[in-house]
Structure 1
Amino acid sequence: MGYLEGLFSLEGRNALVTGGSSGIGKAIARALARAGASVVVVARREAELKAAVDELTEAGCRAAWVSGDLATRAGVRTVAEEAAGVFGEPDILVNSAGINIRPPLSELTDEDWDRTMAVNLEAPFLLGQRFGPRMAERGYGRIIHVTSQQAHRAFVQSGAYGVSKGGLESLARSQAEAWSPYGVTVNTLVPGFVMTPLNERLSSDPVKVAALAERTMVGRNGLAGDFEGAAVFLSSPASAYVTGQALFVDGGLSVH
């Protein structure tokens, strides 16, 4: 095995990627699969899941999909068991699934709050509880949460969404404290504004899109593919001494 393969290869590893049928999650699932991992993609819509996995298998990757609802505890537990039954217990868990309900805070309902917290924060917690200790027992694990600029600052009506992502970054630190002594690293990827279906409300407004691009240092908004290299790094042996961290993949938006 060459030097780079030794650092970054995911051969022999199993990965579970929630929200892996579209956007950032899909790009991450593709990257992990092409780096050698066997990937199970989890989302709700079967047609999108099948299309995403077909792309991977046609490219020679080992991939499968599981459809499920991450908005309930029972749904999360069912998804976890089904996913673990495909290729085996995951060595890599990527929590990219999320919902983006952002009315003005004064109009936020209890139902909006509960559903946002369930999908964006509680599901990653429950999946971590299911898989983190077993990763620790095996001596290798990688947990990656996809968060948001709104975990660090309020803008474009952060509301419950920003709270859920801030909680997710705190969860990553707690998980890192619990399991990193046993070979499990836990980190977050922090996007800037990325042109994905989750951001459809903003991406359909060319004036706002241009204004957000101007806030970056590279002069453009993000694309889902911008996360592939960072995801492979945080999933690989190369990141063994990186844990509890928030890696901003945002073109410099957060520091400009």
Structure 2
Amino acid sequence: MWNLHRKKILITGGTRGIGHATVIETLKLGAQVLFTARSKTEVASFEQELQEQGLPATGLAGDMADAQRRQEISNWINAHWGVLDVLVNNAGMNIRKPTLEFTVQEYQKILEVNLIAPFELSRSLHHLLVQAKHPAIVNIASVAGFLDVQTGSPYAMSKAALIQQTKSLAAEWAKDGIRVNALSPWFTETSLTEALLLNEAKLQDVLSRTPLQRVARAEEMAAIIAFLAMDHSSYIAGQNIIADGGMSATALLTPVI
């Protein structure tokens, strides 16, 4: 059972960071994978990379905040698979700036991509998930959803709401056999955090708050996502798995003598 053999999995935002690592992890565990990204070039490049590694997967380009594109994804899965075992809502975005500097268009876009798109995609794929034997949804949230980590308020708002969306859908859709969980990473080496982590002062601030004294690797998050997708996690539902190197468990990092 420690595999994903024959599982059909959709991973949004699959060409970079955590999504990229999750595509590779789930393929190695035996899954059939469909991944999405906004860039056609990145999708084609990643498909070629996977093919060369002997891990073929299908990529579709499109913004998951686009209702028409979401419907096209649903149509593809219905036509090619007829069922969906696992949905990984990973696609996300952020703009880092003070609250008063956001335009309406900027913060609405963040909410649309990070919150509304996972909600609508989960709804549009519900009929395919219920056809699976042990269906699951994994939402990629963030520690920013319950702690202020200076990511910008719209991002934090979107992730806090995504965590509650996870709990609500887990309770409502349990009767349909669909498990819904979330993963909340701390700072992880991805394109979203690259610029910040290149700032030595910011990096040292992050490390000073993290007992494990390092940022996470995308592969470590992918392993958690894969576990939540497995049948071995069959009694885990409505949970927000916090993977933060011990950050949220500590009040003082200086030893008390």
- The question of a shared fold, defined as TM-score above 0.5 by the shorter chain, is answered with yes
Amino acid at match of 2:176: Y
Q: Which piece of structure 1 moves more, 135-144 or 80-89?
A: 80-89
**Is 2:95 the counterpart of 1:101?**
yes
Q: Which residue of 2 aligns with 1:17?
A: 11
Q: Distance in 1 between matches of 2:226 and 2:143?
A: 21
Which secondary structure does the structure 1 equivalent of 2:193 belong to?
helix
User: For the Cα contact (< 8 Å) 1:41–1:64, is it kept in 2?
Assistant: yes
Give per-residue Cα distances to partners, 1:33-73, cap 9 Å, x unaligned: 11111001100112222222223232322411000012332
The alpha-carbon deviation at position 174 of structure 1 amounts to 1.4
Aligned to 1:82: 76
Contact 1:68–1:79, Cα closer than 8 Å, also in 2: no
Give, as a single letter, the amino acid of the residue that structure 1 aligns with 2:37.
A
Match of 2:210 in 1: 216
How much is the aligned-residue C-alpha RMSD, in angstroms? 1.6
Which is richer in helix? Answer: 1
Runs (5+) with no aligned partner, structure 2: 251-257
Separation in structure 1 between the aligned mates of residue 249 and residue 205 of structure 2, nearest angstrom: 16
Matched residue type, 2:207: A
State the Cα deviation string for residues 227-255 of structure 1 (Å, max 9, x = none). 12211110000111001001112211221
What per-residue deviation string (whole Å, max 9, x for no partner) do you get for residues 50-106 of structure 1?
A: 222223232322411000012332232233323554444321100110010232111
Instruction: Choose the corresponding residue for 1:251, options 239, 245, 248.
Output: 245
The answer to whether structure 1 residue 43 and structure 2 residue 37 are counterparts is yes
Counterpart Cα distance in 1 of 2:217 and 2:207: 12
Alignment of structure 1 residues 56-75 onto 2, 5 Å: 56-75=50-69
Secondary structure of the equivalent of 1:20?
coil
Deviations 1:129-188 (A, max 9, x none): 022343234442110011111100112143111101111111111111122233211111
Distance of 1:255 and 1:158 partners within structure 2: 22
Structure 1 contact 169–188 (Cα < 8 Å) conserved: yes
Q: Percent identity?
A: 31
Asked whether 1:192 is paired with 2:186, we answer yes
Using structure 1 for the length normalisation, give the TM-score: 0.91
The answer as to whether partners of 1:136 and 1:179 remain within 8 angstroms in 2 is no
Asked if 1 retains the 8 angstrom alpha-carbon contact of 2:185 and 2:243, the reply is yes
Q: 5 Å matches for 1:34-183? A: 34-183=28-177
Match of 1:203 among 188, 197, 205: 197
Per the alignment, residue 3 of structure 1 pairs with none
Aligned partners of 1:88 and 1:60: how far apart in 2? Answer: 25
In structure 2, C-alpha distance between the alignment counterparts of 1:146 and 1:88, rounded to whole Å: 25
Taking the aligned partners of 1:88 and 1:25, their CA distance within structure 2 comes to 23
Native 8 Å contact 1:34 1:61 kept in 2? yes
Instruction: Give, in whole Å, the separation in 1 of the partners of 2:76 and 2:62.
Output: 9
The answer on whether the counterparts of 1:38 and 1:61 sit within 8 Å (CA) in structure 2 is no
Distance 1:182 1:57 in 2: 35
Q: Structure 1 counterpart of 2:19, which letter?
A: G
- Higher mean alpha-carbon deviation, 197-206 vs 232-241, is at 197-206
- The amino acid across from 2:248 in the alignment is S
**Structure 1 residues not aligned, in runs of 5+:** 1-5
Q: Given the alignment of the two structures, is residue 32 of structure 1 paired with residue 37 of structure 2, yes or no?
A: no
Q: How does 1:1-12 map to 2 (within 5 A)?
A: 6=1, 8-12=2-6
The structure-2 alpha-carbon separation of the partners of 1:233 and 1:74, relative to structure 1 and needing over 3 Å to count, comes to same
